[in-house]
Amino acid sequence: MSSVTGKNIKLSVFGESHGEAIGCVIDGLPAGIKLDEERIKRDMARRAPGKDLTSTPRLEKDIPHILSGVLNGVTTGAPLAMIIENENVKSSDYENLALVPRPSHSDYPAFVKYGGNNDIRGGGHFSGRLTAPLVFAGAVAKEALRAKGITVGAHIKSIGSVKDDCFDYNNITGQEIEELSLKAFSLLNSEKEIKMREEIEKYRADGNSIGGEIECAAIGVPAGFGGNMFDTVEGRLSQLLFGIPAVKGVEFGLGFGFAEANGADVNDGYEIRNGAVSLLSNNNGGVLGGITSGAPIVLSVAIKPTPSIGREQSSVNLKTLQNEKLIIKGRHDPCIVPRAVPVVEAAVAIGLLDIISE
């Protein structure tokens, strides 16, 4: 297993759901970046569970504790290490899962990979809880990007059949992006919140779960970063995005919408605007030939419904090799899309910082 990523910015994420602590080491950060504690805390809070019925009531304090790499609130250039101590852990909820893998979870393949040595309590190193250090690293990366005039923000694109508006290339602004991070339920069109919450509640009440999509944009990335073939902006960001548990699809710009589109309709022409080269449209989501075009980077990810549901499911016992029915105890998010929004932002921010650090 490799929990290390990046060429210039190397991120190492560690910890297990029910271990002593989780955390990360960010290596290669530029020296001299001032960290804004409030903004970091805010992103951590957006990801944290327990805020309402749409998420799991497990209470996490998720207070990031910086051990190195920061002096007087400014990065030193040395590796930034951060830990979050685990609290409020109830291992007993998970004990019966040890040998009966939860459907659509990592339990079975992880059992094969680690020969049964992996810590399965709460998903261990595979737990969604490991996205907390990712959000922290993303919040730090955002500060470094901000110093270069780049803003990253995401919103819930859809939950089940309820859809938010989409980023509008001609009107998208850094301010609009910034404001998304002020909302616990990040939407472009706030009027959709009630319907989305109803959609989630419908599945929750039924012991079920529901999927959705998240759309993310980065504004202010100059043209000319990235590369072709194995160094594309799309490929490098995707490697991080697919690292978020439950992400099963990634698309840039029109993405899968290109499949039924024709060139005359969707080609992004150019014009001179204020003396500089500008794009007339941004169907390619800010990336051409793997390189940034100067237009906003726009991408969407598909989030599968939480596999932990309250119903009886078909599974097997890995020791006896007999079929076995499984009922997962404990409370689980009926929909992780709202909490995954800052995680998507984090993956994009970390990836972009790596890309523009060439």
Q: Which is nearer to its own copies, 42 or 220 (CB)?
A: 220
Q: Which is nearer to its own copies, 178 or 317 (CB)?
A: 317
For residue 110, how far is the Cα from the chain centroid?
21
Q: Is 238 in the site for its own copies (CB under 8 A)?
A: yes
Q: Which residue is listed with tokens 């992780």?
A: 336
> CA 100 to CA 322: how far, in whole Å?
10
Residues 57-96, one symbol each (x = binds its own copies by CB under 8 A, - = not), give ---------xxxx-x--xxxxxxxx-x-------------
Q: Is 327 in the site for its own copies (CB under 8 A)?
A: no
Q: Is 115 in the site for its own copies (CB under 8 A)?
A: yes
Q: Coil, strand, or helix at residue 320? A: coil
Q: Is 225 in the site for its own copies (CB under 8 A)?
A: yes
From residue 158, alpha-carbon distances to 19, 178, 180, 243, 307 in Å are 34, 20, 15, 20, 18
Q: Which is nearer to its own copies, 108 or 183 (CB)?
A: 108
Q: Of the candidates 46, 58, 105, 197, which one interacts with its own copies according to CB under 8 A?
A: 105
Q: Is 302 in the site for its own copies (CB under 8 A)?
A: yes
> CA 282 to CA 169: how far, in whole Å?
7
Query: How far apart are CB 182 and its own copies at their closest, in Å?
Result: 25
Q: Is 31 in the site for its own copies (CB under 8 A)?
A: yes
Q: Of the candidates 180, 284, 349, 354, which one interacts with its own copies according to CB under 8 A?
A: 284
Please name the amino acid found at residue 357: S
Q: Is 10 in the site for its own copies (CB under 8 A)?
A: yes
Q: Is 1 in the site for its own copies (CB under 8 A)?
A: yes
Interface region with its own copies, contact rule CB under 8 A, candidates 46-54, 168-176, 185-193, 216-224: 216-224
Interface region with its own copies, contact rule CB under 8 A, candidates 88-96, 164-172, 176-184, 242-250: 242-250
Q: Which of 286, 285, 287, 284 is nearest to 232 (CA)?
A: 287
Q: Of the candidates 122, 124, 138, 338, which one interacts with its own copies according to CB under 8 A?
A: 124
Radius of gyration of the chain (CA): 21
Q: Which residue is listed with tokens 């969604």?
A: 128
Query: How far apart are CB 101 and its own copies at their closest, in Å?
Result: 6
From residue 291, alpha-carbon distances to 147, 179, 237, 263, 297 in Å are 21, 27, 12, 20, 11
Q: Of the candidates 112, 147, 194, 205, which one interacts with its own copies according to CB under 8 A?
A: 112
Q: Is 140 in the site for its own copies (CB under 8 A)?
A: no
From residue 355, alpha-carbon distances to 146, 168, 238, 281, 322 in Å are 15, 25, 13, 23, 49
Q: Is 171 in the site for its own copies (CB under 8 A)?
A: no
Residue 279, H or E segment: strand 276-279
Distant-in-sequence, close-in-space partners of 353: CB < 8 Å, separation ≥ 6: 9, 141, 144, 145
Query: How far apart are CB 240 and its own copies at their closest, in Å?
Result: 7
What SS3 string covers 140-197? Answer: HHHHHHHCCCCEEEEEEEEECCEECCCCCCCCCCHHHHHHHCCCCCCCCCHHHHHHHH
Query: How far apart are CB 221 and its own copies at their closest, in Å?
Result: 11
Q: Is 47 in the site for its own copies (CB under 8 A)?
A: no
Q: Which of 107, 135, 358, 357 is nearest to 240 (CA)?
A: 135
Interface region with its own copies, contact rule CB under 8 A, candidates 49-57, 140-148, 166-174, 207-215: 207-215
Q: Of the candidates 38, 170, 171, 271, which one interacts with its own copies according to CB under 8 A?
A: 271
Query: How far apart are CB 308 and its own copies at their closest, in Å?
Result: 8
Distant-in-sequence, close-in-space partners of 227: CB < 8 Å, separation ≥ 6: 290, 291
Q: Which is nearer to its own copies, 68 or 92 (CB)?
A: 68
